[in-house]
Structure 1
């Protein structure tokens, strides 16, 4: 008696059609990828100039709070958009099939061994290149309309009272220190970087350069940001584990924000 054949079961859900299907494809065209990298940054600058900057000036708070507001108003919808793509693919709000590098192939011990040196690298290089940033600012970017200072940590707080600075830092710590860099990593490393397979080993460098360029609000930091940020995306790409770049990025921003708030609370500045 002939045995009935078992139907083939596919493990991957079919991609939806339309724009969702294009965004969820395993490979983005280079023009599409460039647009997806840079458009959020342009929107952040637009929201800052049109909404956030007038608001913080009206209430007497420094620009840092305005940038935190602008980042929230763009990056939170970006996260919602990723969840929407997950709903189109999976029938429910999730990031399964939307993000890659999420299978955690790196052991916990190896992850810690990579992330700690990356935090040191990014932290030390970001401070060591302050003079480089100041050079680019003073020679090429003094015309930028949404800032008149650059290159130092305390510059955005000039003229603000101690209580206003401390309040700003405490508000921004969970935002620009933790949650917003985390969303950036989900989007840039979990969603965009894996969809550049046509670039081969150049993919993490292109991703890092576009991510650095996405920061239109601080273009004078482009060169140093590529230098101190590249190892995180490269190791995340090489090991197929997004936790590497998340650990580096969020580790540095949370540590910097926490130390800044503590220093302000102890009257070490401004």
Structure 2
């Protein structure tokens, strides 16, 4: 069943900002303090352990609490308030095409952004902890093979499956329909905030927005967040494999 925009309660911009940036601020603060243990445990797994106990429960809790208010029971229904059923092969087709577009942007826009905003990126790297830069391959050299294996298994689980699903339920499923009064601007507004919400990865925002907005827009127009979930999982899968291969080759 598809629920139209008229039946979806809207939220204010200040509330939207609070719903997005309070949880991610909590995670980032916990992550900074957890970084004191990064000489023993790699920051990748530290981050996802922190997220598992802060960000993910908070975001899912917000959706479930909203579902209780809107539908009478704790569930994920509020993440599907604007949902239209679609064949799975179409979902994967859209997700794959969007992923292909992201691949094109990764070899065109991403390098351009890196060059244009190099001074800003370098400054951010200077003022943020070393372990905020997940592309720093040399950082992983201090850990044993056993620790790295454990880290990358957990990284794949959280970065490829858990993280994308939770974020898409929260951002594309729950928050975007709450901005439907802005029409087709809603997915762009939420996508920009989604990119900025990555306080622990304050790099490549232009690239992140450029690849996630098309997915958010298609999911919005087709009323099916499974499209953006598939896309997000594919993106994180390839980026995760790329990082792991780089570490072991290095």
- TM-score with structure 2 length normalisation? 0.83
**CA distance in structure 1 between the partners assigned to 2:119 and 2:183 by the alignment:** 31
Q: Distance in 2 between the 1:62 and 1:156 partners?
A: 9
Of 198, 201, 204, which residue of structure 1 is paired with 2:181? 198
Q: In structure 1, what is the equivalent of residue 195 of structure 2?
A: 212
**CA displacement at 1:199 relative to structure 2:** 1.8
Q: 1:248 to 1:83 in 2, by over 3 A?
A: same
- CA 1:91 to 1:26, structure 2 compared with 1: closer, same or farther past 3 Å? closer
1:119 aligns with 2:99: yes
Tell whether 2:52 aligns with 1:69.
no
Equivalent in 127, 130, 154 of residue 147 of structure 1? 130
What is the DSSP-based 3-state SS (H/G/I as helix, E as strand, rest coil) of the residue aligned with 2:130? coil
1:22-67 Cα deviation digits (max 9, x unpaired): xx962111121122222222111111012x222343xx12211121
* Structure 2: distance between partners of 1:127 and 1:187: 29
- Measured after TM superposition, the shift of residue 155 of structure 1 is 4.9
Higher alpha-carbon Rg: 1
Query: 2:165: which partner in 1?
Result: 182
CA contact (8 A) 1:142 1:148 kept: no
Q: Which moved more, 1:34-43 or 1:140-149?
A: 140-149
> In the alignment, which of 55, 66, 73 is matched to residue 92 of structure 1?
73
Residues 240-265 of structure 1: per-residue CA shift (max 9 Å, x gap): 1111111100122134335655x37x
Q: 1:136 to 1:38 in 2, by over 3 A?
A: farther
Distance 2:76 2:132 in 1: 39
**Contact preservation (8 Å) 1:82, 1:98:** yes
Q: 2:205 aligns with which of 212, 215, 222?
A: 222
| 2:69 aligned with 1:54 | no
Instruction: Quote the residue 1:29 is aligned against.
Output: 12
- Unaligned segments of structure 1, at least 5 residues: 1-11, 13-23
Number of residue equivalences: 241
Secondary structure, aligned partner of 1:27 = coil
Number of the residue aligned with 1:252: 235
Alignment partners' CA distance in 2, 1:108 and 1:149: 36
Larger mean CA deviation between 242-251 and 146-155 belongs to 146-155
Structure 2: segments with no counterpart, 5+ residues: none
Could you say what the CA RMSD is over the residues aligned between the two structures, in angstroms? 2.8
Q: Secondary structure at the match of 1:220?
A: coil
